[in-house]
Amino acid sequence: MSEVRTKVDSKRPLLRYLVDKREGLRNIHPKELLTSDFSCLHSPYSLPDLSDAVELLVQFAKDGKKILLYGDRDSDGVSSTCLLAFFLKSHPEFSNINLEVMVSSESDPYGLCKEALVKIKKVKPDLLVTLDFGSSQADEIEELTNTGIRMIVLDHHEVPVRIPTNCALVNPRRTDSVYPEKKICTAVLSFKLVSAILFRMSDEFNKVYSKTEENSSGQSETLYFQNGVRVSKESIATQNLEGKNILPYPEDFVTSVPVEEERKLFYYQCSQIPDFFSGLEEETDLAGIGTITDMMPLTGENRHFVKLALQSLTKLYTGDKKRKGLSELLKELKLNPHGITTKDLGWSIGPVLNSAGRMGKTEEAVSLLLSETVQDAKSKAKQLLSINEERKERTKRNMDRVERYFARKPERTTNQIVFCYEPDMEPGVSGIVATRMVDTYKKPAIFLAPDNGDARGSIRSYGRENVLELLESLASHFLHFGGHPEAGGFSIQLDKIPAFEAALYPTADEWLSKDKERSTIHSIETDFTVLTEEMGERLLKEWKDLEPFGQGNPDIKLAIRNAKAIHLTPLSAGKHVRFHLIGSGSLKYMIWNKGDEFQKFMSEHGSFDLVGSLEENFYQGRTTLQFIVEWFGIASD
């Protein structure tokens, strides 16, 4: 554990130290660290094919052509689909739009599978927009476009070498993308498309601004900008704009956050459009939810989207806003009306939206988010919470089976990857179960369950290993596979599972041998060590400006050495435990799922070391501070 000692008696002694430790934060301007507004966002027009997507949507909507939005069933897919659908349904410019919304069901394989193609062809859309899938399916896209369907793909997954023809593929990971961010979720891409449509309908669209500055050779050079993106002199010439209709760059315009030329200009242009930002404010909520639930790194633009989303959701809770469904969901979840937090997105809102897809009822989440009346929204929010309770029960049953499985076959936990499959496992929660297996065994894990005549599995990484590389090595066994470097999924025929498992272990050994730094010893890197008497709200305030915490910007981990526990209170028949530490006053310490293990440990040791994080907990109208213990034991020096 880290042995950085510190005091907490000056104004902000820890913030600079913590910022410098985090690669994604250390090089940004302090004001951009502390503040988030729309000036921090990049122009959407630097995304590949974004302009084409805008023109297609606007034209097909105005012409009354049938538009189909088809989203993936996970939280990012649902969020991105509903963000775009709600905008198109509610904006006066598209009052006569011919729009249909669909999402994949739990029984469907991922993406443009044959089942999806059948559904799409049955609807016969003139324009199809896929959300959160499609990048790697050029053959299927061309099969659809050859029937006369025009297509837009909004996606952030890996892009192959071959880009499909006759399709606007909006993906920041494209090799030809100049967009400054690569790891943004599809809900953010939906937000970008919406903001670009609003900009397209304004007088600022396609205006050209220029500024003259001295280049590295000491010569004067004129720079041109259009729609918040720097463009070449040749591009201006082809538009016959050179020498006329070119506006001076707004040098005197000041943003609250110092940003570079392109962001500053786009923000300036947007500020000239009446009600532009007020119209976009509510669109940030689903973009932030998608960012958190799809585990995007919380640095750069993602950090700003989440902070803007938290502000918007807090206003949504008590205000009369458009999104009735999301507002009622916040109330049913009994979240803090004075401030929605990142934890609320990742542990309350996101899982509830995800649960519908896991339980084969994705349309319930879509129906809630697109609710138009409070009464309808309240009913659908209750229904979604009921589905989430079903999901929790299914997860619990599967975890009980996993524990019994490894109790019977303990030798299986000695492999470098932990694998679990039995015919009585229940589908829909494989990702949650695989994650818990990783937490328990400190290794990459695969959980597999029967599903509609085949089996579907999830894989989760433990460290920095890329699980997609392993899936690609085993691709011959799968019907379909995909995902992110940290988390993947696949489907497989039941009769191929034994051969898959036999191939898995040697393939995984070779895969993991590439990571030279991988250790069999479980180590936790902490940010610093504190004394028990230093624990409390004062310490928490030192780094609050580093929020939001999540992927790429983890919560601050504290280490405490030689702690002594008092007032132990077992919870849930000993499964969890709450206690205090001598010296830290009334602060409560919580251990989840290892209560019995901790009580046994305490009976054998007088003092111990622990690692965990401070958090604010809102329950029954009160906010209290508590410490969540991640690890306890005797640390090696």
- Find the CATH number of the domain harbouring 570: 2.40.50.460
Given the DSSP bridges, would you call strands 246-248 and 150-154 parallel, antiparallel or unpaired?
unpaired
Which residues 6+ apart lie within 8 Å of 376 measured at CB?
324
Q: In 3-state terms, what secondary structure has residue 453?
A: coil
With beta carbons less than 8 A apart as the criterion, state whether 550 and 596 touch. Answer: no
Q: How many domains does the chain have?
A: 4
Distance CA 360, CA 73 (A): 9
Q: Which of 390, 423, 457 finishes a domain? A: 390
The pair of structure tokens assigned to 8 is 């907490």
Predicted pLDDT of residue 243 = 52
Residues 298 and 384 in one domain: yes
Question: What angle in degrees, to the nearest 10, is found between the helix axes of 362-369 and 374-408?
Answer: 150
- Phi and psi at 214, nearest 5°, equal -85, 130
Per-residue buried b or exposed e for 163-195, using 16+ beta carbons within 10 Å of the residue's own CB: bbeebbbbbbbbeebebebebbbbbbbbbbbbb
With beta carbons less than 8 A apart as the criterion, state whether 203 and 188 touch. Answer: no
Predicted pLDDT of residue 482 = 78
Place of tokens 């076959």: 409
Q: Which of 457, 488, 513 finishes a domain? A: 513
Distance CA 606, CA 529 (A): 20
With beta carbons less than 8 A apart as the criterion, state whether 351 and 384 touch. Answer: no
Distance CA 359, CA 404 (A): 24
Residues 353 and 319 in one domain: yes
List the CATH number of the domain containing 385.
3.90.1640.30
List the CATH number of the domain containing 506.
3.10.310.30
- 132 belongs to a structural domain: no
Residues 324 and 231 in one domain: no
Predicted pLDDT of residue 2 = 42
CA 281 to chain centre: 19
Domain around 551 = 15-24+526-633
The pair of structure tokens assigned to 605 is 């040791």
- 624 belongs to a structural domain: yes
The answer to pTM > 0.85 is yes
Please give the single-letter amino acid code of residue 131: L
DSSP track, 123-166: H--SEEEEES--TT-HHHHHHHHTTT-EEEEE--S---SPPPSS
Question: What angle in degrees, to the nearest 10, is found between the helix axes of 75-90 and 284-293?
Answer: 170
- 395 belongs to a structural domain: no
Distance CA 631, CA 2 (A): 14
Distance CA 146, CA 130 (A): 17
Residues 429 and 329 in one domain: no
C-alpha torsion sign, points 73, 437, 349, 19:
negative
- 81 belongs to a structural domain: no
Residues 368 and 470 in one domain: no
Predicted pLDDT of residue 15 = 82
Predicted pLDDT of residue 13 = 65
Residues 235 and 334 in one domain: no
pLDDT along the chain (637 residues), means of 10: 38 74 83 90 96 97 96 93 96 93 78 87 96 91 93 90 88 94 96 97 94 82 93 81 76 91 96 93 94 91 96 84 90 91 91 88 94 94 95 93 93 94 91 91 93 89 88 92 83 94 94 66 79 89 89 90 93 92 93 90 91 90 91 84
Residues 290 and 386 in one domain: yes
Which residue from 123, 130, 131 is spatially nearest to 147, judged by alpha carbons? 123
Please give the single-letter amino acid code of residue 287: A
Residues 534 and 626 in one domain: yes
Residues 384 and 287 in one domain: yes
- 372 belongs to a structural domain: yes
Distance CA 195, CA 283 (A): 9
Residues 443 and 505 in one domain: yes
Residues 374 and 475 in one domain: no
Q: Which of 490, 513, 536 finishes a domain? A: 513
What beta strand segments (E) does 401-453 contain?
418-421, 445-451
Residues 472 and 541 in one domain: no
